[in-house]
């Protein structure tokens, strides 16, 4: 029974690592190629290959050592590359930056009729 619980926990952990790698791959694909150059990071092709290999290893080759290496690459993307790309791209991902103003401000000014 203990081995079954451990197996279930490991399956959950490997699934979480796979989902994280797929999300990182999609995010890497959505940024423009010139954003990578402007952020002074490796080019877009490099990150797509690294993260694509990570997804492939997680799906096809269940070797823990290779999955940990892929997890490290995914964490590096999320912690170092994505914030730099977001900063260069102007915030991205549908979030508006706050530049002062109130919560009733719309894209062209306040919604309260200019009061």
What's residue 11's pLDDT? 86
pLDDT tens-place string over residues 21-33: 999 999 999 999 9
Q: How many domains does the chain have?
A: 1
| Spatial CA neighbour of 58 closest among 44, 45, 72, 47 | 72
More confident residue, 65 or 2: 65
- Residue 21 inside a domain? The answer is yes
Enclosing domain of residue 7: 2-90
- Residue 98 inside a domain? The answer is no
More confident residue, 53 or 63: 53
- Residue 115 inside a domain? The answer is no
Categorize the per-residue pLDDT at 9 as very low, low, confident or very high, splitting at 50, 70 and 90.
confident
Categorize the per-residue pLDDT at 7 as very low, low, confident or very high, splitting at 50, 70 and 90.
confident
For the stretch 55-61, contacts whose Cβ atoms lie closer than 8 Å and that sit 24 or more positions apart, written own/partner, are: 55/18, 55/21, 55/22, 55/25, 58/14, 58/17, 58/18, 58/21, 59/18
Mean pLDDT value across residues 79-96 = 77
């Amino acid at each position: 029974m203990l081995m079954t619980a451990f197996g279930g926990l490991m399956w959950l952990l490997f699934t979480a690592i796979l989902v994280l790698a797929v999300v990182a791959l999609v995010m890497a694909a959505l940024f423009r190629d010139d954003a990578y150059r402007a952020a002074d990071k490796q080019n877009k092709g490099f990150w797509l290959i690294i993260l694509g290999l990570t997804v492939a290893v997680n799906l096809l080759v269940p070797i823990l050592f290779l999955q940990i290496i892929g997890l490290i690459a995914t964490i590096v993307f999320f912690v170092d590359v994505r914030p730099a790309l977001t900063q260069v791209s102007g915030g991205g991902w549908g979030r508006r930056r706050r530049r002062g103003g109130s919560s009733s401000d719309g894209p062209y000014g306040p919604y309260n009729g200019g009061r």
